[in-house]
Each structure stands twice: as C-alpha cells, then as structure tokens.
Amino acid sequence: MTANDTAPNASAPAGPDGRPRCAWALGTPDLAEYHDTEWGRPVRTDRGMFERISLEAFQAGLSWLTVLRKRAALREHFAGFAIEEVAAFGGDDVERMLSDARIIRSRAKIEAVIGNARAALELPGGLAAAVWEHAPQAGRPAPAADADVPASTAESTALAKRLKAAGFRFVGPTTAYAAMQATGVVDDHVAGCFLGRGA
C-alpha cells in the first residue's frame, strides 16, 4: 500500500514527502527521522532499553528535540549506555559531564542515570524484560490524533512503581510511558500514519 492510498482517509497530516505521519514528527527533519527510523520500533536489549529510559529521564522539563540533538554527546559521555560501565562511574565522571555544554548539565539527572545503571544490574531477568512485562493487551485501537495519546497509563504507572522499587529515579508514570512508546512496548502511531498499525 502506498502513501497515496492511505492519505485521503488518514488522520495523520502529510509530511513534505507526502506520507502521513504523527503530527509531532513534522516539526523538524530531526524529529521526522527519529519518528521514521526509531520511535515505536521494538527494543529488546537491556542496553537499548537503558539508553531510551535514560534519554527520557533527561527530557524531564525539556523538549524531546533538545534531548535528540544532544544524544550523540550523551552517548559519548555515558559509554554508549553500556550498563556495567555506567554503573562503575563515580564523582569524577559526574564532574566531567557537568563541564561539557554539549550535554544536559543536570547533576540530578546525571547521577540518576548512574544510579539507574546500578539498579538495572540487579533486576531479575534484566531491564528490557522488566519493561516488556508491562506491555498492554493487544487490540487497543490506534489513537485518532496526537491529542488522543495519553500521558500515562495504568501499565506505565505499574512500570514506574516497579522501577522505583528497584532503585530507579526519574521514572515516573509519564517518563515510563514515553519510554514504552519509544521502545515499541506500546504503538502510539496515530491512525493513518504510514508507520502505524495496518499501514
């Protein structure tokens, strides 16, 4: 099925290439590329899941575009989000990161990511499995528009509770839900999006 086949009945607005997308992805080329190549695609590795949860934690109070544009530097400082390496970080590593304007220089968030790496190492079965255990039941209809996408759900609230009990920080229900969206645990591409269900 081509984009032209779906566009006339789509809720999703068309991008510059004519393909219908979630409206949030049309703001900049960075957002469109992230939407088209990564957002909502299943992440099954602990390292991949740790990176997404860490990035969502850094987003708190900021725009996702800000995080996206600082992602390369964050990956550099956090050893590619290798959990065991980050878990071994200490005070010198925190100070190193706070001195680099290329990243989000929040001591609380940096220290939370390091603490979360240590907590992730202790999760039975691993981080990815813990997140996927909170996937919603299949059959949920696609949201009609971005405005219909919830900020949190019962599943993300339960996931946040689980992670906090394990020692994670900066993982409230909204952050947990954003991570679930980013890693394909939930599919929130809007109806008509060329990457959505049934496309």
Distinct helix (H) and strand (E) counts, the chain:
10, 0
Which residue shows structure tokens 């997140």?
Answer: 131
State the catalytic residues: 34, 56, 64
Please provide the DSSP assignment of 179-192 as one string.
HHHHTTSS--PPTT
Distance CA 51, CA 69 (A): 15
Joined together, the tokens standing for residue 133 give 């255990």
Kindly give, in sequence order, each residue whose CB lies less than 8 Å from that of residue 90, ignoring residues fewer than 6 positions away.
none
